[in-house]
Amino acid sequence: MQDHYIGSLDIGGTKIAAVVASEQGPLARVTAPTPKEGDRRALPLKGAELLQMACSQAGIDPGLVRSVGVASCGPFVHEEGLIALSSPNICGAGRNAPDLPNDWRTVPLEQVLRERYAEVAIENDCVAALAGERAFGAVQDEPNCVYVTWSTGVGFGLCVDGHLLRGKNGNAGHAGHMLMSETDQALCGCGNRGDLEGLISGRNVANRLNMPAAELFNAARDGRADAREAAETAARRFGRALYNLAATLDTQRFVIGGSVWVHHGDWLAPLVRAEIEQRLPALTAGVTISSSGLGGMVTDVGALSLVLPQTWISHWRTTSPWEKLKT
């Protein structure tokens, strides 16, 4: 019997990462900047190229990779029944943005990948991350949970009664675009003003004080008054958004990743918890928040988990083979 291999793509606004894996675990990982020029097929073709490069690095025949899991930034639309990207960070049509030198309205992601692979599973990156956390991370087999990333953007993956929520176009979980303020003019990359991402993303919080996000949150940790106020206000708004989801989904656990939380969750967490715990106990009693169990590998592992054979799960849980990708 031929060896069985799977692949994954993590597609973001700045980079694409490709991984190939066997039953024993991930074998190779390669990355490249996300293409933003050429025709609409340029991005998925680059993903396929990176998967071939990963196979070469691992010393395996690319033809033996027949299943690919994709974790991608969104939102998605459907074109002839197949998933296409319509991300404002990638598609330049109508945006007049110098960093998006293309006229793409959509990217035919699933169409191009299905020309090369027998099985293609595509999810929003936070949905994929939640799948990874439920398989191998902080909420293993938890039926009611939410994955949240708080970074340059804000995104969510939702699971209710053991079912990952996807929605009509696969965009369930775009709660970063829930409107939080009618008066705040904070501008989100999607064009909304006053939505959650516009109010609390690392980039947007930092823009208010005209300094890099890492510098602002570090200054806040060190006690600089204006930075501290900005960071604490963002944390309270983040907590209110989590309360809104707890009230809507009757969820049990929030697992949080992303650069803001990874580096500053230790001192921001009490503010976030307070916004949940001080409200309607019937909905919030017992609701917990914790950090991602997979850390920086959450999206790679999540994408792999979308096509991972069930028979591999036990071995991966025992050995945590994704850890070797860190080196």
pLDDT at residue 153 greater than cutoff 80:
yes
Residue for token digits 């998933």? 83
pLDDT of residue 327: 64
**Mean pLDDT calculated for residue range 286-315:** 96
pLDDT at 88: 87
**Residue at 44: amino acid letter:** P
Q: Are strands 65-72 and 82-85 parallel, antiparallel or unpaired?
A: unpaired
- DSSP letters, 276-322, are HHTS-HHHHTT-EEEE-SSGGGHHHHHHHHTT--HHHHHHHHHH-GG
Structure confidence at residue 2 (pLDDT): 54
pLDDT band at 89 (very low <50, low <70, confident <90, very high): confident
Environment class of 137 (CB within 10 Å of its CB; exposed 0-12, middle 13-18, buried 19+): buried
Mean pLDDT of the chain: 93
On whether the CB atoms of residues 305 and 131 are closer than 8 A, the answer is yes
pLDDT at 182: 78
Q: What separation in angstroms does the CA of 185 have from each of 146, 192, 198, 262?
A: 28, 9, 9, 27
Share of the chain above pLDDT 90, in %: 84
**Residue 184 scores a pLDDT above 90:** no
Average pLDDT over residues 48-53: 98
Strands 288-291 and 253-257: parallel
Give residue 1's pLDDT.
Answer: 39
pTM to 2 decimals? Answer: 0.93
* More confident: 98 or 50: 50
Q: Each residue of 128-145: pLDDT tens digit?
A: 999 999 999 999 989 999
Distance CA 256, CA 245 (A): 14
Does the pLDDT value for residue 326 go beyond 80?
no
* The pLDDT of residue 104 is above 90: yes
Mean pLDDT computed over 86-115: 90
256 pLDDT higher than 70? yes
Q: Which of 38-42, 182-186, 237-241 has the lowest mean pLDDT?
A: 182-186
Q: Is a pLDDT exceeding 50 seen at residue 250?
A: yes
Q: Is the dihedral of CA 229, 230, 235, 239 positive or negative?
A: positive
pLDDT tens figures, 188-246:
877 888 899 999 998 889 888 999 999 999 999 999 999 999 999 999 999 999 999 99
